[in-house]
Structure formats: C-alpha cells, structure tokens
Amino acid sequence: MLPQLKPLIKYSCLSASLFITTVSAQPFGHCPTKAYIIQTPGSVPITYGVDLALGSYSVLSPDMGTTKVNGVGFSFHDNYMYGWDYGAQTLAQIGSDYQTVPLNVSGLIGKPFYVGDVSILDNAWYGYRPNKGLYRIDLTDPTAALVMTQIATSSEMGNPKITDFAFHPADGLIYTVDNNGYLMSISPDTGEITGLTQVLSENELGFNFTFGAQYFDVRGQLYISNNGNGNIYRVALDGANSHAVFFSYGPSSNSNDGARCAFAQIEISDSIDFGDAPDSYGSTISSSGARHGITNLRLGSVIDAEKDAYVHPLSDDLSDSSDDDDGVNFPTGFEIGEYSIISVNVTGENGFLNAWADWDLDGEFDADERIADQLAIENGSTNLIISVPSWATPGDTWMRFRISTFENIGPTGGVSDGEVEDYPITVTENGVSMIYYPGANSYTTFAYEDSYPNLGDFDMNDVLMNVRITEYVKNGNVIRMKIEGKLAALGASLSNGFAFQLPGVPSSSIKGDSIALTINNTKATHTVLEDGQTNAVLIVSNDLWSITQAGEWNCVFFRTEEGCGTSHRPAWKMIVPFSTPVSTGSMAALPYDPFIFAKPHAYHGGTVDMITGMHPGRKYEVHLKNKAPTDTFSTAIFGAADDASDLGLSYFFQNISGLPWALEIPNDWKHPKEYSSILQAYPQFGGFASDSSGATNPNWYLEENANPDYLFKD
C-alpha cells in the first residue's frame, strides 16, 4: 500500500472555476492494462488497480487529495486520467501519482458529474448529468482556460438512467448499460441514443444493478462492474444480438467509478489456475471460465499455473504430467436417488467451498445442480454427504469444486484466490426397471390427416411418425422417460408441429430445464415443456418441414409420392427427467397423447383460419380418437365441417361414422400414397372405425389386407 499523499494544490470548495497553481503531475508512462476503480467508502477517495481477468484488486492510492472523484476516463492522447473533483467542484487531471489537479473550467452547471469518459477520437472529456444532459470539455491544452459546452439535454436524450459510460476503441461512440441491464450507444456529437438490447436481467440474476464502472478492451468488449456486489460482466457487442456473461468478481462499493485505457488488452498472467472440464461448462478464458489467482489456499497440496485452460481430453494433467486434481476423493459411487460421500481436503487458510454436478448430462452446471453452497470449510479433510436427485441421468458426467475466501461464487468467472478442480464421474442406476412401449426394439406408428375438421383426401399420411417410449421406474415411481421417434412420411402441403400431452401429469412434475432433445443428432434450441398447460405438453418440433425435405427435385412431399422413395427417416430423441417422480398408477397411459398442431404464424386452411382467425398456431390440434385437446386448442373447431366432436360426451376428433383424423398402428405401417384415401388402401378400415368396440376387422392395417395399388412403395 502506498503512503498517504498530499494534494498538489490548495483550493476553495466554494469556487466553481479554479486555476492550476502548480505544475501538473507526471502522466502515466504507457497504456495500462489494469482497470482503475475509484471508490469512496469513507471521507476520501481510494484508487484501486483491478486485474479484470481475476477481479483481484490492490490499493494504488489511499487518498486522492480531495473528498470524492467520479466520472473518470483515461485519455490515451496524453496518458492522464480526468474526472470530476467533488471537493474542487470542477474537472480534475489525475497523473501517475493518483492525485487530483483541478482545472480552470468555465460554463459549469453547478452540479457534480458521476458519469464521464474521455473520447477516443478527440482529446475531450464528456460527462452526463441526469436532468441536465450531455456535456463536453476540450482537453487539448489542460493548462488553458477550458469551457464546458452542452451537447444535448436529458429530455432530448430520453432521460437515460445510467451511472457510467465508456468510449468504444474503434467506432468512437459512447456505450453504456443502464440500471435495467439495457445496452445502448450514444452519439458524442448529438447525444442521440440508440437502444440495442437487454444484456442482463434482474429477474434472471436476482439483484439490482448499478453499473458505476464501465470500460472497454482493445477488442471492443465492454466490461461493467456492479456496485452492489462488485461482479464484473463482459459484454460482446453485436447489435441486437449483444449479450453479457459473468466474467469475474471485483470490489463492491456504493460509490464506484472506473477508467481504463481502451487500447489495452486484458492481460492473462501465467500464474492462474483453471479447470479442465469440457468448455461447455465454462473453462477457458474466452468462455469466462472458472479461474483463480494462485495463493496458499488450495484443494489438496498441488496446484498448476496456466495462461488458459487445457480442457478435456487434453487436460493440464496430461500436458505437464502433474496431476493437481488431488483435493477431492469419492469413497462411494453416485447412484440415482441415493446418498453419496465426497471427501474434500483443503490446504492453507480456511475458505468457502462451492461445488456442482452436471446431473442431467447437458454439458452445463445449472443452479439446481449445486452440491455445496458457500460451505465454510476448514483447513484439513471434510466429508460431504450429498443426495443424487431422482431426475439425474445415468452416464458419464462432470463435477466442479471451487475453494476461495469469497463466499458466493458461481461455476464460472475469475476470483483472486483459491483453486478450481474438475472431476469426471459416472452416475449409475440401482433398482431401476424399464417399461417399454411398444417394445425395447420396436416402434408404433401414428398417422395424421391435417385437413381436420374436413376429411379432405383422407390419405392419413400428412404426418407419419414412428415412436418408441421407455419409462424408468424406481420404487413404483416413474423418475424419467425417453421418447424416440422417426419421421416416416410428410405428405402435407401445410406445416405442422408434433408434440405429446401427458394427461393427468402436471407440468410441475417435469424438470423442464433438464429435458434433452436432439433432432438429427443436433441439440434442439426451442423450449420443450410448454408453459401455461394443465397437463404437461412436450413439443418435439414446431415445424416438421424444418427437419426434413421432399428429396428429389421433382418431389413435393416426403415419402408419399410415386418415385419419391427413400429409406432415410429423420430421427429425434427426447429424455425427460421428473423433478417429482410420478407413481405408475398416476402416470398417463402409454402411449400418452401424441398430436399435431399448426405451425405458429402459418396458414392452415380456409376453414380453420375462418374459425380461429388468421394463422391459428396452437389453437389448432389433431389428436387420436377421443383424446381431449390441450388448453390452447380452440373448441370452436369442434362440430365444424365433417367433425362430430362433443365436449359433453367426451367424443373427440371423429366424424359421425367414427372415422378419425389420427390413428395408432402397432407396427411400421405401409401407408397410403399421396391423394389415396385410407378407405381405398385398406378396405377393412371403415368397418373397424365405425365399431367403437374395436372387434370388427382388428387386423385391418396388415399389408395382406391392403390394396397395393394405393400404397406408397419405398
């Protein structure tokens, strides 16, 4: 810590315009890589140097020679900082001794500024004051008589609620994140504000924002420091696609301002400890990975230093033959629904342990996967007893352990002390049985006619889906299910989605954020568990045409036309964990309730559009015979055209003769070709459909009972 320094000049707090009476302090000798944060926890402002990579900080000056400094910016034009001196009531120059030298400025508004920075394009300080506006002071000759000029009023700017801003190193614009987490740019010439997007949400993160320190690096990434907890976020600028990620932990204060040379890189030293789990968990510096400054606090006895993470499978242990993951041992395995013991050994001072396990195998550490939460832990060995949740997925996965003197840290981001260790583990099942539908190695088929409520061509090939379901049962409760499917045909000129309803199973029983859905071996990005439904509804696809195409150049549909055969079938798999296991007696009967619905924002036939309004979306559904629709379905469709549905009789999705618009066929079915009615292709079907007992022609769907002239041929 530096000794307390005295001010270079004396000034009167009553003066609004002062002349420098001594020689200015020496400038900084280069473009510093550290960020400067000025805080006033007591009666004098303190200058901190902040290592943005770790959030670690040190006191550079315990007293800047005035009462308070704010609105600070670094000028690469002359290598000084400039900020608003509350004691002198004017702009001040700050040199390498971190003392303020008040400047002679006329035209002052009589109010202090806590928002400010120095321009990249011209040597000028810009400040913003709420209810006043944006102002500029030319710094070409700081020893001359300077003038404050107004660029725009607050009302002209839209009265933004901002607590700091920073000049971009390339485009010359001012950028800021306001106290609601919205990113915006400001023209220094006119004060015009362009709103970009919300990069942080209070609801998401659970605390209020006051971003009192904001600054750039040379790559054009904006760093913002939250006064309330010191957390530093990195904002990648990309217009409306801009986003923020947590980057490191820093000092907190109710009075917080920052400055940094925008042309400096973020310096990563070679004395930092990183994790080595796959980078989806946040391991490398580019992913704002977990990292610690190396001190005497660690897990186990060995710690490695790196400039960046060596992620699995090329971990740092393999890169230098030194296994520093020696602080955690696992005396027991990890069985779903059971307790496990973890032994943690801490060397050095006491600290706080935070740890996570990726129970759902999605490649991320989620909030509900934390297994140690700010656990005060002493030097030596400590045993943890954890519960493996019932919704965990069996297989190979990862755990992350972080020790630090900081209490509340997450699975990513930098911190100034401690260590991070990552461990591969295997989650197994004990006492779990499987229920298969229709069998472990077979599929059932669902066929749909999307002309509902009209019979249309009734070829029942508009959507043809092969499905297999597995329920995982432990102690009489379903803890997880897997649904696998293959799209067998798509003979629809309209666009349809595909989903499952689980009658009698509330959405709250499903752990929606841990559902794993892959389509054509690619992770789906849409929300699978639909909001606002009484029964759980799982969306496989909002548009089945998005997962396949017709095929040959002269084909209009997928596997329904003559000469358009293919053995390829787009495949998908959904693993659905239960947050609250459901007893087998309360579980929806297999095969649940698979249905199609209209693609959102798309035309779906004149009859339906006339009833529901243009583009019915989720108001339109087609279910199996006598299966009730979901809450989003428009019951105004019932009884229209050829439909004879009756809510009072629970008589759904069939006409007066019992013909349905959706079918289940218990095999890989030979379906009708395009525009060929199922009544032509399978002459026995009409008799089967009209007999509610199912006793008439129960084998109508077998190929031996079909008219081959009307069947699709691969």
Q: What is the pLDDT of residue 527?
A: 96
For residue 349, the Cα-to-chain-centroid distance in whole angstroms is 35
Residue 594 corresponds to which tokens in the numbers above? 């698979």
Q: Ramachandran region of residue 198, left (φ > 0), alpha (ψ -120 to 50) or beta?
A: beta
Contacts of 538 (CB under 8 A, 6+ apart): 483, 499, 500, 501, 502, 510, 515, 528, 529, 530, 574, 576
Q: Which of 204, 254, 255 is nearest to 233 (CA)?
A: 204
Give domain status of residue 24, yes or no: no
| Angstrom distance (rounded) from CA 549 to CA 487 | 11
| Angstrom distance (rounded) from CA 115 to CA 109 | 14
Q: What is the CATH number of the domain that holds 317?
A: 2.60.40.10
**Is 595 within 8 Å of 627 (Cβ atoms)?**
yes
Residues in the chain: 714
| Angstrom distance (rounded) from CA 272 to CA 307 | 6
Give domain status of residue 466, yes or no: yes
Measured CA distances, 699 to 438, 446, 463, 680, 706 (Å): 17, 16, 22, 16, 10
3-state DSSP call for residue 656? coil
Q: Which of 306, 343, 336, 349 is nearest to 324 (CA)?
A: 306
Q: What is the pLDDT of residue 7?
A: 33
Both 547 and 627 in a single domain?
yes
Give domain status of residue 577, yes or no: yes
Q: What is the pLDDT of residue 553?
A: 64
pTM above 0.85, yes or no: no
Both 441 and 402 in a single domain?
no
Give domain status of residue 554, yes or no: yes
Q: What is the pLDDT of residue 3?
A: 30
Both 293 and 248 in a single domain?
no
Last residue of a domain, one of 428, 457, 476: 428
Backbone angles phi, psi at 331, to 5 degrees: -65, -30
**Number of domains into which the chain is organized:** 3
What one-character-per-residue DSSP string does 469-515 give? EEEEEETTEEEEEEEEEEEEEB--SS-EEEEEEEEEEEGGGB-GGG-
Both 601 and 660 in a single domain?
yes
For the chain, give the mean pLDDT. Answer: 89
- Is the N-terminal amide bond of 591 cis, ω within 30° of 0? yes
Q: Ramachandran region of residue 489, left (φ > 0), alpha (ψ -120 to 50) or beta?
A: beta
* Mean pLDDT (10-residue bins), the chain, 714 residues: 31 38 70 84 85 82 92 93 94 94 94 94 95 96 94 95 93 93 96 94 65 89 86 90 87 73 80 91 91 92 82 60 76 91 93 96 94 94 94 93 93 92 92 91 95 96 97 93 95 95 96 93 94 97 94 84 84 95 95 97 92 93 97 97 95 97 93 96 96 94 96 88
Give domain status of residue 588, yes or no: yes
What one-character-per-residue DSSP string does 149-210 give? EEEEEHHHHT----S--EE-TTT--EEEE-TTSEEEEE-TTT--EEEEEE---HHHHSS---
Range of the domain at 380: 272-428
Give domain status of residue 690, yes or no: no
**Is 104 within 8 Å of 91 (Cβ atoms)?**
no
By CB neighbour count within 10 A (0-12 exposed, 13-18 middle, 19+ buried), where does 615 fall? middle
**Amino acid identity, position 52:** L
Both 129 and 246 in a single domain?
yes
Both 409 and 441 in a single domain?
no
| Angstrom distance (rounded) from CA 83 to CA 5 | 18
Residue 195 corresponds to which tokens in the numbers above? 């709103």
Both 303 and 237 in a single domain?
no
Burial 657-675 (b: 16+ CB within 10 A, else e): ebbbbbbbbeeebbbbbbe
Q: What is the CATH number of the domain that holds 103?
A: 2.120.10.30
Q: What is the pLDDT of residue 225?
A: 87
Last residue of a domain, one of 428, 446, 469: 428
Both 420 and 283 in a single domain?
yes
Give domain status of residue 7, yes or no: no
Residue 389 corresponds to which tokens in the numbers above? 């949740």
3-state DSSP call for residue 696? coil
- Strand-pair category, 496-506 with 593-598: antiparallel
The residue written with tokens 């009859």 in the block is 607
Both 500 and 439 in a single domain?
yes
Both 294 and 251 in a single domain?
no
- Is the N-terminal amide bond of 438 cis, ω within 30° of 0? yes
Give domain status of residue 255, yes or no: yes
Both 422 and 440 in a single domain?
no
Task: Report the alpha-carbon angle 201-206-211, nearest 5.
Answer: 60
**Is 36 within 8 Å of 81 (Cβ atoms)?**
yes
Q: What is the pLDDT of residue 50?
A: 83
Last residue of a domain, one of 428, 463, 493: 428
Both 499 and 404 in a single domain?
no
| Angstrom distance (rounded) from CA 187 to CA 644 | 64
3-state DSSP call for residue 285? helix
